[in-house]
Amino acid sequence: MMQALPARPNFDWLRKIAKERLAELRSSDPAAKLFHAQLLVAREHGFKNWRDMKARIEEITGQNDERRRAFDAAEAGDTAAVRRALERGFDPATANADGRTIYQIAKEKGFGDIEILARDLQQRPRASETEAEALRGIVRAAQAGDVPKLAALLDAHPDLIDGLAGGLSKATALHLAALRSQHDAVRLLIERGASLDKRDFPDNAAPLHFAAAHADLETVRLLVEAGADVDGKGDDYGVGVIGWATCLRQVRTDVAEYLLAHGAALNLWSAIALDRETDVRRMIEAEPSLLAARMSRNLHRRTPLHHAAAKNRARMVRLLLELGAGVRATDATGATALTTASQENADAEVIDALLAAGAPLDFLTAINLGRYREAEAMLREDPSRIGPDGGDTIALHLAVNKRNATAVRWLIAHGVDVSAKRMMWDCNHTALHMCVESGAEDLLRLLLDAGADPTIEDDKFHSTVLGWARYFGRDEMAKVIEAHGGHA
């Protein structure tokens, strides 16, 4: 029987009703999923689907207007307006129509004050210590695949099933069970009504993003068959679920093909990683401006040619060059596609194709390729290139990022400014800061012994390297820094 929404509808109450309905459905159909129950509840209230009902409730309760104001303020860089929205109770984990949170918007646009404001609020503990301990137990059981313990904890604390646990990074039990390919734990969490759409922090990724990047195909299948969104817009890398399978680390062709077969949209970045020549040609011929498209700041705002080089796709490199890609275009670190190819240890076929197209063998590329004689010749011509104001001083930061100790030692021996700040991931900071963030204690010691100044603050968070060590919980590194005169 059709029911009208009450004058002041409560979406949390309707979610509870959907979970109760799921239990009823499973009495006759053990394979019933939460989205089946949600669809029934939505249709009972006169809506085509759960999403439409949620949107109508937000409109009735004024949440849409509030949300619109908060996102408009974030897009405009209006820190005061964002702060007021958050103080009025606006949830910083709320996503806009593109799936992005205030935090993601601020990061992408370079509004550091808003980024830090949203970050600090999302990292702040929201549960009591008793609840936090219970949540840690749920997450540990899910990660370990201890289904009896997980079931008992969920029986005792059903409201914590979608709780975000962790320190600087936070994820749900379903995220972490999926990450570890704990099939039985994933099944139990889905059966108990765990949200398939809940995003982690800071990557704004759903459990399916985690599975696409790290888990086996069976885990991906469990999530997709339960109704997970196969596109997953709004993640911090800006590549969607299929991009997590293809663009971040390894190229997981089996996962990508499964996602595509189940309705995922193919984007340019994944088409390049999958070496799909016909699709890439079609996309760029239909929209030539894609040749100048940029990845997110997490991926150094690389162009398609950079991306093809990074994924070691010689055929894609040749195709993009044929279609007009510029070999001298640089990413956010100043690297050309050739530099990127050398950083990522691409095959000679990729390197040769870029050189043949006129890519310059610059200082950064020479360092990455270990062609130190050529690098020395460039230094003789311009010794200042790795000095305080040098255009290639960022070579030190890039070598630290790749844990290339040989290059770090060579640069130190040839006079690189070990205390210089350079822009990486929209933060102007020293190579010491980068060592701390990545946990590279050996490189930290090497730089400190070479005279790197640990008292310099970055330009975004206004913190010394010791402050970063304490923030990231790097206690041993903090001791090393303090022994070299560092302070917070």
d(CA 113, CA 426): 13
Q: What is the pLDDT of residue 62?
A: 59
Q: What is the pLDDT of residue 67?
A: 82
Of 385, 330, 401, 389, the residue nearest 360 (C-alpha): 330
Q: What is the pLDDT of residue 63?
A: 61
Q: Are 90 and 70 in contact (CB under 8 A)?
A: yes
Strand, coil or helix: 165: strand
Q: What is the pLDDT of residue 30?
A: 83
Which residues share a beta bridge with 165? 171
Give the architecture (CATH level 2) of 266-360.
Answer: Alpha Horseshoe (1.25)
Q: Are 471 and 439 in contact (CB under 8 A)?
A: no
d(CA 316, CA 2): 55
Residue ranges per structural domain of the chain: 11-60, 63-123, 129-262, 266-360, 382-488
Q: How many CA atoms lie within 13 A of 169 on its CB side?
A: 7
Mean pLDDT by 10 residues, the chain (488 residues): 75 84 86 81 86 76 75 94 91 86 91 92 80 94 97 92 88 97 96 91 96 97 94 94 96 97 96 98 97 94 98 98 96 93 93 95 92 95 95 94 94 97 91 96 97 95 95 94 92
- Strand 427-430 relative to strand 421-424, pairing: antiparallel
d(CA 398, CA 343): 8
Of 138, 232, 245, the residue nearest 185 (C-alpha): 138
Which residues share a beta bridge with 251? none
Task: Give the start-end residues of each E strand in 370-432.
Answer: 421-424, 427-430
CATH of 63-123, one of 3.80.10, 1.25.40, 1.10.10, 3.40.50: 1.25.40
Pick left, alpha or beta for residue 209 (phi over 0 → left; psi -120 to 50 → alpha; otherwise beta).
Answer: alpha
Place of tokens 């010691």: 445
Fold of 382-488: 1.25.40
What is the pTM for the complete model shown? 0.80
CB atoms within 10 A of CB 80: 9
Cis peptide before 6 (omega within 30 of 0): no
Of 340, 287, 282, the residue nearest 311 (C-alpha): 340
Specify burial of residue 358 (Cβ count, 10 A radius: 0-12, 13-18, 19+): exposed
Largest CA distance in the chain: 84
Q: How many CA atoms lie within 13 A of 11 on its CB side?
A: 14
Two tokens, residue 43: 């249709």
Q: What is the pLDDT of residue 256?
A: 98
Check for a shared fold between 63-123 and 129-262: yes
* Superfamily covering domain 129-262: Ankyrin repeat-containing domain (1.25.40.20)
Q: What is the pLDDT of residue 1?
A: 58
Q: What is the pLDDT of residue 171?
A: 95
Cα four-point dihedral sign 344, 347, 351, 353: negative
d(CA 294, CA 174): 31
Cα 279–chain centre separation: 25
